[in-house]
Every structure is written in C-alpha cells, then in structure tokens.
Chain A
Amino acid sequence: MDKSGSAEADATALTDRPSLQKILEHFKDCSDMTRRSFSSCGVEAVYFTFLAGNDELLRDLVLPFADADPQEAASVLYRPPYCTVETLGECIEGILNGHAAIFLEDRAWLADVARSVGRKIEQSETETVIAGPHDGFVENWTENLAVIRRRLKSAKLKTVMLSVGEVSKTKVVLLYLDGIANPALVDRMTRRVESIEIDGVYDANMFVQLIDENPNSVFPQFMTTERPDAVTSKLLGGRIACIVDGSPSVFSTPTSFFDFFASPDDYYQRWLLGTALRMLRILGFLITICFTAFYVAITTFHYEMIPHTMLLNLTESRSKVPFPPLIEALLMETTIELLREAGARLPTKIGQTIGIVGGIVIGQAAVQAGFTSNILIIAVATSAIASFVIPSYIMSASLRLIRFGLIILAGILGNLGLMMGIALVIIQLAGITNLGASYLTPVAPANLADAIDTFVRGPFYALRKRPSIAQSPNPVKVKMKK
C-alpha cells in the first residue's frame, strides 16, 4: 500500500499523548467540529456537531461541567461514562465515532454523545416472507448486532470487531457461536478481513467481493441476507456471520450454491409444503436459465421435438417474424431486462405505469406487429417470472445473465450448444470454493444428510445434523426422538 509522507507522519504521532492542540491541528478545516470551553472549571470539549445528540450533550457535558469548579469536574471525569484515553489515535477514533473528547489539564477523556441515527427496524424490501418474523436489518451495525443478540441469548455468541477501509474505517463485526463454529474457519475469516486494503467499503454486497475466492465468477459466493432469522439459523448451523456497518445486508459463510435457493419461509411451513417450495424453486432455476434457450434451439434446429399440433401454431406465429429465432429471443429478453431495470430504478408509483405499458407493448403489440411469436412471449415471460422465485436477488440477477449466454449457444449449436452451456455452468460451479468449502455441497462432495435439508426440507426430526459445509466440531443439533 502506498502511503504519502504526511500519512506516515500522522502514524508516528498517533501514539503520542492526546492534547487539545494536537486534536485541533488534526481536525484542521473541519468546520463542523465544535469546541466548547467551560470557563468555571477549565474543561475543554471537542466533538463533531452533527454526530452528537442534544440530549446526550446536555447529560454528559453541559449539566456536569457548566457550573462546576475544577475539583468537582475532575471527580466527575473519573466516573463512568467518561473513560480516559492515553493515545492520540484512540482519541481521534473516538471523535470520528461521535464521541466528545474532554480535556482537563493534561489529561483526556472520551464521552459517548453520539446520537442514534438511521431508520428504524422495518420489513426487508428484498426478502419478504408471508409467515415468520417481519423485521429486517438496518444500516446501523449496533442495531443489527442487538437484533441478533436478542435472538441468541448466549454467552457463546462471540464477536470480533474489525475495521476496514483506510479512510472510511467501516466497522466489520464477525459473529460466531463458540463451540459450534469451526475455530479454524473463524481465524481464516478474520485474517482475510484484516488483509483487505482499500479506501472504503459501502455495503456488505461490495465487501464480500473483496474477500471472494473467485472474483471473476458470475455467481455470488457469500450468502447475504436482510433477515435476522436467516442469520440466526446460519449461526446455529455453525457458520460465521458478518455485519458491515452502513449495510442492511449481513452475510454468512461458508456458503453453498443451494443456500441461495432456501428461504426462511421453508422452515415456517409444514415440511411437505416446504419441500414442495424447494422443488418449485429448483424447477424455477432450470426454467429461468434454459427455457428461452430451449425455444431457440428447437425452433432453429430441432423441429422434430415439437408436438405436431403445436408446431402448426408455432409455424404460423413465427412466419410473420422477419428475424431468426436467436435474434428474436435476444430482442425480447433485452426488452424484458430493460423493463425490469427501469422498474427497479423508478419510484414505485411510476414503476407501476412502466409495468402496464410494458405489459401491453410486450404482451400484445409485439406479436400483432409481427415482431415476435406469441410462444416466445410465453417463454420469455415464464423465465422472467421463474427468475423471481429465487429468494436471493443477487443470485437471480446472475442467473439472468447466464441465460443470455445459453440463448446464444442454443442459437448457434442447438441442443448441443444448450448442453455445452449447461456443462460450462456446472464446471464453473464445481470450481468455486467459499472459505475452502466446495460451492456444490451437498452434490459434490455428496452428502445425504445435507441433501435432505437442501433439495427437500425434511421434517425437523430428520434434520439432526448441522450442515457439513460448516465443519462444526459439534454437529448434532436435534436430539429429540421422532
């Protein structure tokens, strides 16, 4: 990492004892910094105006020191909530985190006067469930940690506080359950987070890309979620969770590909229904990557595969279209993606208008104008809908991208191309690792105990073990008899 001379000078000075002069020098030109002097007792306080809350200032600064004499002030400062700081670095960090630095004679203290900011806990927009808890994570890490602590009332829930970003100093908290998570993995994760050298981190979904083992893969490798119940279950499964300050997403690791197809909902339904939903999602996964490509392959090369009656309708519908199926399909898929992207960028109210306009244009006019065949509309719409069945937005976006590759291969080589494409996807999936664990667990390495909690959602008496991917030293989770 390249450091400028002044930064080095800062670094050597950080171990010095803190003083008002040095602090003011350090925060030179920060006009939102407030310096308050209490003349009656000689106390000087420095803090960032907008990080501090009025009530906190009143409680911790104004009331104790406004009319105090120096002896009183000193005795107050040696009691909580004030804590002494010995180095300049600590002091600066405290001020940046919204604390007030208090100076009396040659000693310095910090008092937490930060006001709580950010939105209240509310329902997650991207991951909704019908049955089950409705709270979602927020941007504030303390809130998120508290939500998890409230769910796991155990001293075994350990936290490792780290900070990432040379400038942003973003708080990153690793959570794990002692005795359930594998300590080697915790070490490895800690080292990996500490090795990040970047100026700033803004979101967990960005953060995970910094610690990916396969940064060029199209697939997301760390499972991020906005749901506390999902993180709780991951922690109990022996995985490591990680909160990144400023992000409502919390990620967990090690992750397998199939984790992205599970929703907390599955565990709140009866197991048969949960199983049906899991299978529906896997079907949705196959449809979303293959369906349009399959249409292109059979209309371009494999007319024998189409049932006779359907072939006549299809031919009639296709005969008005001037483009070959490949171009036709790419056009429609691009249109759908445009529509989806527009809907995601626009405010909800205008978004609905887009939906209606898109529905009419794509649904009817395109076919009547001889732009596409109506069966392609069905294929494209079905694969778009199927892509939204996948609970993880990030995964669903990746799969939509893969679809384009498969369509092109199918348009060039037919079913052979489609199969080649699927083989490439599988090769790619098999090559990915996450914290050293195979991405395709429990398919490869095969594991029956994991499979009954992956492709089906087995009844709870059957889900006796924690997932093997976590390499937990304490693998049994259900001790009940049937």
Chain B
Amino acid sequence: MRSRAAGKLSRFLALLLALLMLMMTGCSDQRIIEKIGFIRTIGLQAAAEDEGEEEEEENTGKIKVTISIPKTKEQDVIVYSTVSKTIRQAIKVFDLQNDRKIVNGQLRQIVFDTALSRKGIWKYLDTLMRDGSVGNRVHVVIAEGDLNHMLSRNFEQSGPAGEYIDNLLRTERRMGDVPDSNLYTFLRDYKDDGIEPSASILKETGNSLIVNGIALFQEDRYVGKIDAEEKIYFGMLLGNIRAGDMFLDYPDKDFVSEDSTLMRFNSSRKLKVLSVGGGAQPPKEKISLKLTGTLLEYNGGLDLESTAERHQLEDEIEKFVQLKCEAVLATMKELKSDAIGVGQHVRNAMPYAAWKRLDWPEEFARSQIEVHVDVHIKSFGKLQ
C-alpha cells in the first residue's frame, strides 16, 4: 500500500514538474505582435567615405544599412539608417532606438545600391538565409539612384516604398517577363553550375518607381544590365512566358510594317547543345523560341485578313525578335554573365570532370548561340 501511495505521489510530482516546465518555457521566446517592429525593407549601400562621425578610413568596407518598419497605420513607416559592418550589427543599433523589438520575419525585400552590388552581395544574403524567420520569397532588388531617398518616400501608388516595391514586382512577375528574383532563386542560381543569378533593377522617377531593367551578375557581383525595353526578350530566353505583351517597333529599312503589339502571348524555349566545343572550337548552342499570341495593334502595309500577308508579318516578327534576342545574348556574352542557364545544358552534355575543368564564363563569352524563332498569330482582334 505504501509503495502504491509513493508511486502516486511521484506520479503527481512528475506531472507537476512537466506542467511547470511547460509553463516556463516559451515565455522568453514570445513575440507578441503589438510588441514587435517588423522590418519590411532592408536597404544596403556602400558607406560613403565622408559619412559618419568616425574617421574616414573607418568607413571603408562598411555598409550603410537602412531599414523601414511599417507603423500600424498603413501609410506610415519608420526609417532608420546607420553605418555598420553587418546587417545584424545595424539592427542592434536600431533596437536601441526603437520602442518595439525589431524582427526579421516579415521582410519583403532587400535592396542594394549599385555601388555595393558591384562589390558582391552574397555575404549579406547569407546572413538572411541563415535566419529561419526570413522567408524564401524576399525580393532581391538593385536600386539605381539614391537608395535612402527612395526608401523614405511615400508614393502615390501604394504608399511607402516597401509596399509599392512588393506590389510592383509581383505584378510585373505575373506578366511573366520579369524573372522572379528572390532569395530562393538567387541562392539557387548562385550555387548552381552553369547559370548566374539575375535581379530586377528599380529606379526612382518623378512620381513612381520604374522597373529599369534586369541586373546581370558574375557570381554575386553586379556587372551590367539588360535595358527595360529588352527585358521581355531576356524573359523569353530564360524560360517560358505565359501571358506577356510585346511592343514591336520595326526599324524602317528591312521591314514593311511600322509597329505592332503582340498581346497575351505565350512563349516556350528549347535549348539544344550542338557542340560542347573544346580547344579552339567554341561551344555551339541553338535556342528555339515558339511564340503564340494575339495581334492587337498594327500599323503598316500588310493586310492582316490575307493569310499570306499574315504569314509575312509573322516572318517579320520572327526576324525582329531574333535580332533583339541576339542583341540581348551579345550583351550577356560581353559581360560574361550566363543568366539564362546555357551552361546547365552544356554541363549536362559533357562529363562532369570535363565541366569542372572548363572556365564557363569565358566559354560562354565565345560560344556561338543561334536563335530560331517561330511566331504564330492566333487572332488579330475583333475589327476586320
């Protein structure tokens, strides 16, 4: 009887202990929503040599970190800015000023200025990737112009810069012509062989932000860009477009038409490695693009109702797209940045040991890539 009573007592004690352990854990880890300030945007700039109260040489290698925290009223943000060595160090400084604990879990975009991104951005992204509370879909953006000014501005479109950038990039991506540039894709393309990451470039204009092209990288260093007018061709070369719009402004001399717009087209890309090259031989690849869409704007001498003339127009569009794509490829080759992943196909076509010996950026720069375009106009609007 005694042992049973003792057993009961010890069971009760164990239960009490378990309950206490349950009650006491977690309390320190609480993040009650009204007691935290969640960063929406992190802006990173190379620290200017003359900025900060410290001596000038102290600033070399340092970065200027700007964060923006939305206030509960949707239109207001708090912007903090400081010069430090890493993001974490900066957040410690901001924590001293802010009345709420600053957390990373609602981060939506990380914006680099061009000067810092030319030096390489991986070590900053690495900091964020290690943080479990930061999501994979945080946009990686390169900003042209004054980053501080951009982040502290309120825009007509959707208020604070953070929310505006988020909405803008998501809408653009849905159109299908801007590749998704977030932490996940950046990490994937950075770590993978035979492809370089890319990111969207934003620029301030009078009353808005504009997607001003696609940033091309070598490893994690920003080396150059594709202009905004050409980003649709970059999109086609990179992968499939589901519902893009394309304005075609034909240069006079070789074309019958003046301009036209192909609406809601979808494109598919096929990449074939013709020869992996080696030695003096450059690698040869063929990219086949297939475009199907609706023609909703046309100025020029062709009669769209005639099948033969429509085919002629299709030929013109094919020729035009091919020229543009070749121009985009030329830019990338010049920058030695294979952002569309030609290297992945070449890698798959050769033994891995051979691939490891290959200096792909150099090979890419001298590779011969043919572009073959096939256009099909599905319909040309309701007006005959």
CB proximity to B under 8 Å, residues A284-316: 299-304, 306, 308-309, 311-312, 314-316
A-B contact pairs, 14 of them (CB 8 A): A299-B32, A301-B26, A301-B30, A302-B31, A303-B36, A304-B133, A304-B135, A308-B163, A308-B166, A312-B74, A316-B72, A318-B32, A324-B30, A412-B27
Q: State in angstroms the CA–CA spacing of A309 and B34 once bound together.
A: 14
Q: State in angstroms the CA–CA spacing of A302 and B132 once bound together.
A: 12
Is residue B5 within 8 Å, beta carbon to beta carbon, of the partner chain? no
Query: B73, A316: Cβ atoms under 8 Å?
Result: yes
Chain A contact residues, CB within 8 Å of chain B: 299-304, 306, 308-309, 311-312, 314-316, 318-319, 321, 324-325, 409, 412-414, 417
Is residue B96 within 8 Å, beta carbon to beta carbon, of the partner chain? no
CB-CB under 8 A for A311 and B38, given A304-B133, A316-B72: yes
CB-CB under 8 A for A412 and B22, given A299-B32, A299-B33: yes
Residues of A within 8 A of B27 (CB): 412
Q: State in angstroms the CA–CA spacing of A309 and B72 once bound together.
A: 10
Chain B residue at minimum C-beta to C-beta distance from A306: B33
Query: A412, B33: Cβ atoms under 8 Å?
Result: no
Is residue B305 within 8 Å, beta carbon to beta carbon, of the partner chain? no
Residues of A within 8 A of B31 (CB): 300-303
Is residue B108 within 8 Å, beta carbon to beta carbon, of the partner chain? yes
Chain A residue at minimum C-beta to C-beta distance from B22: A412
Residues of B within 8 A of A316 (CB): 72-73
Is residue B223 within 8 Å, beta carbon to beta carbon, of the partner chain? no
Residues of B within 8 A of A304 (CB): 105-106, 133, 135
Q: State in angstroms the CA–CA spacing of A299 and B29 once bound together.
A: 13
CB-CB under 8 A for A300 and B32, given A308-B40, A413-B22, A414-B26: yes
Q: State in angstroms the CA–CA spacing of A77 and B287 once bound together.
A: 111
Number of A-B contacts (CB under 8 A): 62
Write the nearest CB–CB distance from A414 to chain B, whole angstroms: 7
Is residue B70 within 8 Å, beta carbon to beta carbon, of the partner chain? yes
Query: B33, A303: Cβ atoms under 8 Å?
Result: yes
Residues of A within 8 A of B106 (CB): 303-304, 306, 308, 311
Among B22, B26, B29, the most chain A Cβ lie within 10 Å of the Cβ of B26
Write the nearest CB–CB distance from A40 to chain B, whole angstroms: 71
Residues of A contacting B: mostly: helix
Write the nearest CB–CB distance from B160 to chain A, whole angstroms: 11
Write the nearest CB–CB distance from A283 to chain B, whole angstroms: 26
Residues of A within 8 A of B29 (CB): 301
Query: A413, B33: Cβ atoms under 8 Å?
Result: no
Q: State in angstroms the CA–CA spacing of A414 and B30 once bound together.
A: 9
Chain B contact residues, CB within 8 Å of chain A: 22-23, 25-27, 29-34, 36, 38, 40, 70, 72-74, 103, 105-106, 108, 133, 135, 163, 166
Residues of B within 8 A of A311 (CB): 33, 38, 106
Query: A319, B133: Cβ atoms under 8 Å?
Result: no
Q: State in angstroms the CA–CA spacing of A321 and B72 once bound together.
A: 14
Write the nearest CB–CB distance from A299 to chain B, whole angstroms: 5
Query: B25, A413: Cβ atoms under 8 Å?
Result: yes
Write the nearest CB–CB distance from A116 to chain B, whole angstroms: 53
Q: State in angstroms the CA–CA spacing of A301 and B163 once bound together.
A: 24
Write the nearest CB–CB distance from B32 to chain A, whole angstroms: 5
CB-CB under 8 A for A319 and B40, given A304-B133, A412-B23: no
Query: A300, B30: Cβ atoms under 8 Å?
Result: yes
Across the A-B interface, give the 8 residue pairs with the lowest CB-CB distance, nearest first: A304-B105, A316-B72, A318-B34, A319-B34, A413-B26, A315-B72, A303-B33, A299-B33
Residues of A within 8 A of B23 (CB): 412
Residues of B within 8 A of A413 (CB): 22, 25-26
Residues of B within 8 A of A303 (CB): 31, 33, 36, 38, 103, 105-106
Q: State in angstroms the CA–CA spacing of A154 and B198 once bound together.
A: 79
Write the nearest CB–CB distance from B334 to chain A, whole angstroms: 40
Chain A residue at minimum C-beta to C-beta distance from B25: A413
Residues of B within 8 A of A319 (CB): 34, 72
Write the nearest CB–CB distance from B356 to chain A, whole angstroms: 39
Chain B residue at minimum C-beta to C-beta distance from A420: B22
Residues of B within 8 A of A318 (CB): 32-34
Q: State in angstroms the CA–CA spacing of A303 and B106 once bound together.
A: 8
CB-CB under 8 A for A325 and B74, given A304-B106, A311-B38, A412-B23: no
Query: B33, A314: Cβ atoms under 8 Å?
Result: yes
Residues of B within 8 A of A321 (CB): 34
Contact of A312 among B30, B72, B105, B133 (CB under 8 A): B72
Given contacts A299-B33, A309-B74, A315-B72, 11 further A-B contacts (CB under 8 A): A299-B32, A300-B32, A304-B135, A308-B40, A311-B106, A314-B33, A318-B34, A324-B32, A412-B25, A412-B27, A417-B22
Write the nearest CB–CB distance from A291 to chain B, whole angstroms: 17
Q: State in angstroms the CA–CA spacing of A164 and B33 once bound together.
A: 57
Write the nearest CB–CB distance from B91 to chain A, whole angstroms: 16
Residues of B within 8 A of A300 (CB): 30-32
Write the nearest CB–CB distance from A310 to chain B, whole angstroms: 10
Q: State in angstroms the CA–CA spacing of A299 and B105 once bound together.
A: 13
Residues of B within 8 A of A306 (CB): 33, 106
Write the nearest CB–CB distance from B354 to chain A, whole angstroms: 44
Residues of A within 8 A of B108 (CB): 308
Residues of B within 8 A of A308 (CB): 40, 106, 108, 163, 166
Q: State in angstroms the CA–CA spacing of A402 and B268 once bound together.
A: 54
Q: State in angstroms the CA–CA spacing of A324 and B23 once bound together.
A: 15
Chain A residue at minimum C-beta to C-beta distance from B30: A300
Q: State in angstroms the CA–CA spacing of A414 and B29 once bound together.
A: 10
Q: State in angstroms the CA–CA spacing of A301 and B133 once bound together.
A: 11
Q: State in angstroms the CA–CA spacing of A412 and B20 once bound together.
A: 11
Query: A312, B32: Cβ atoms under 8 Å?
Result: no
Residues of A within 8 A of B163 (CB): 308
Write the nearest CB–CB distance from A216 to chain B, whole angstroms: 14
